[in-house]
Amino acid sequence: MKRDRILLCLAHMSGNEMKYIQEAFDTNWVVPLGPNVNAFEKDLEHFVGEGKQVVALSAGTAAIHLALVALGVGKGDEVVCQSFTFAASSNPVVYQGATPVFVDSEPGTWNMDPNLLEDAIKQRIAATGKKPKAIIPVYLYGMPAYIDEIMEIANRYEIPVLEDAAEGFGSRYRGRVVGTFGEYGVMSFNGNKMITTSGGGALICPSDEAKKRIMYFATQAREPFPYYHHIHIGFNYRMSNICAGIGRGQMTIADEHIAHHIHVKDLYVKGFADVEGITVHVAPEDYMEPNYWLNTIVVEPELTGGVDYEQLRVALDAANVETRPLWKPMHCQPVYKDAPALVNGVSEHLFERGLCLPSGPCVSDDDVDYIVSAVKQIIKK
């Protein structure tokens, strides 16, 4: 019998999504505002807690962009960004005509190294005479960052923090949901994320006033006149009421999704426990509770008898298992070759050794057994 291909992270519906979409059609709310958008925002506010306000948007990338607009980032400014991430974390800095300054990761969380962050701030002040305008740490693969340390430095230099929690939906740090520590926090509901709206995102805001300002920029910066009157450049970034219907349905099983990702992580940890040269990436501190959005392994060819991550990827692909190399660091991307970067070797080392493994709600215990056995066979050969 031929097995179905095991994919990295597939969208998974609760069965409640169509009810909310049907409601939208029945009431003719087929527009980028409406009851589903409002109710989805309430669900998200309840989920993140901390008295935060949430604005639903067309993408996580749009959320990062609007936060930068609200923070006043513009031409000639610099923004400190985590280098080890997806390009959507830093691209909006360039949309604003500003320059990203890339900072490498520390090896425990794979996220922004707080010591290098402080070096970067000092270096940029010395080089340009002014402070970076914002700091964008990332929760890569759902792993919390050393956010207390990052916030301490950011507060000391009075630089606002924009947390890219696109991959960290529901991850917790000392019990608190990530994305609620900085001035703004970003969520993504793209098709492959922890929950989906097909495509979509949201911005976690500190206050009602901040939320109103984000909504204003997300809806073409319209002034309160009977005709269209503009004093700022705006954007069309609001979430569709249809997409928000999917989001409301997804919120009914968000906790189950997270529990399943953690369950799959436990199976990988157990399965690879006796495999030399394969290490599952887990939280380095007990006060960090990742959502394990994508489970990742580091492959050390010195210990696997010479099998490296690329050979493993190709062999697993032949065995009908989708895996993917880790994010290629931004400071190694041709498009960012001229951006300043503070590098310690951690992200480049991981990029040359790491793989993402299938992790979504569609991955069964049997699938994990199959993947672990396949890896063991590949290494033994």
Ligand X SMILES: *Cc1c(COP(=O)(O)O)cnc(C)c1O
By beta-carbon proximity to ligand X, the closer residue of 160 and 185 is 185
Distance CA 133, CA 97 (A): 13
167 binds ligand X (CB under 6 A): yes
Element (H, E) at 278: strand 278-280
Give CA separation, 10 vs 5, 18, 190, 196, 257, in Å: 12, 18, 11, 10, 11
Give the footprint of ligand X on residues 290-349 (CB under 6 A): none
By beta-carbon proximity to ligand X, the closer residue of 261 and 304 is 261
11 binds ligand X (CB under 6 A): no
Q: Compute the 3-state secondary structure of the chain and give helix, strand, coil in percent, each to the nearest 5.
A: 40, 15, 45
**How many positions of this chain bind ligand X (CB under 6 A)?**
14
By beta-carbon distance, which residue lies closest to ligand X? 60
Contact 10/362 with Cβ under 8 angstroms? yes
Which residue in 88, 145, 161, 294 binds ligand X (CB under 6 A)?
Answer: 88
By beta-carbon proximity to ligand X, the closer residue of 60 and 277 is 60
Determine if residue 283 is left, alpha or beta; phi over 0 gives left, psi from -120 to 50 gives alpha, anything else beta: beta
Give CA separation, 64 vs 161, 198, 325, in Å: 11, 18, 24
Which residue in 36, 53, 83, 89 binds ligand X (CB under 6 A)?
Answer: 89
Q: In this chain, which stretch among 30-38, 57-65, 149-157, 232-240 interacts with ligand X, using CB under 6 A?
A: 57-65
Would you give the DSSP letter of residue 227?
A: S
Strand, helix or coil for residue 101: strand
85 binds ligand X (CB under 6 A): yes
By beta-carbon proximity to ligand X, the closer residue of 88 and 307 is 88
Q: Which two tokens stand for residue 246?
A: 């999917």
190 binds ligand X (CB under 6 A): yes
Q: Which amino acid is at 40?
A: F
59 binds ligand X (CB under 6 A): yes
- Give the x/- contact pattern for ligand X in 127-146, rule: CB under 6 A: -----------x--------
Give CA separation, 253 vs 14, 17, 43, 49, in Å: 6, 11, 12, 18
Q: Which two tokens stand for residue 79?
A: 């923004």
Which residue in 34, 60, 277, 290 binds ligand X (CB under 6 A)?
Answer: 60
By beta-carbon proximity to ligand X, the closer residue of 138 and 210 is 138
Which residue in 166, 246, 346, 371 binds ligand X (CB under 6 A)?
Answer: 166
Q: Which two tokens stand for residue 293?
A: 């959005």
Q: Which two tokens stand for residue 286?
A: 């007990």
Q: In this chain, which stretch among 84-92, 113-121, 305-313, 314-322 interacts with ligand X, using CB under 6 A?
A: 84-92
By beta-carbon proximity to ligand X, the closer residue of 14 and 196 is 196
Shortest CA distance to 93 belongs to which of 293, 326, 340, 332?
Answer: 340
Distance CA 274, CA 51 (A): 45
53 binds ligand X (CB under 6 A): no
By beta-carbon proximity to ligand X, the closer residue of 9 and 375 is 9
Q: Shortest distance, CB of residue 60 to ligand X, whole angstroms?
A: 3
Q: Strand order of the sheet with strand 184-188?
A: 53-57, 201-205, 184-188, 162-164
Which residue in 96, 188, 196, 296 binds ligand X (CB under 6 A)?
Answer: 188
- Give the x/- contact pattern for ligand X in 146-165, rule: CB under 6 A: ------------------x-
Distance CA 304, CA 160 (A): 44
Q: In this chain, which stretch among 82-90, 213-221, 300-308, 354-362 interacts with ligand X, using CB under 6 A?
A: 82-90
What are the residues binding ligand X (CB under 6 A)? 59-61, 85-86, 88-89, 138, 164, 166-167, 188, 190, 201
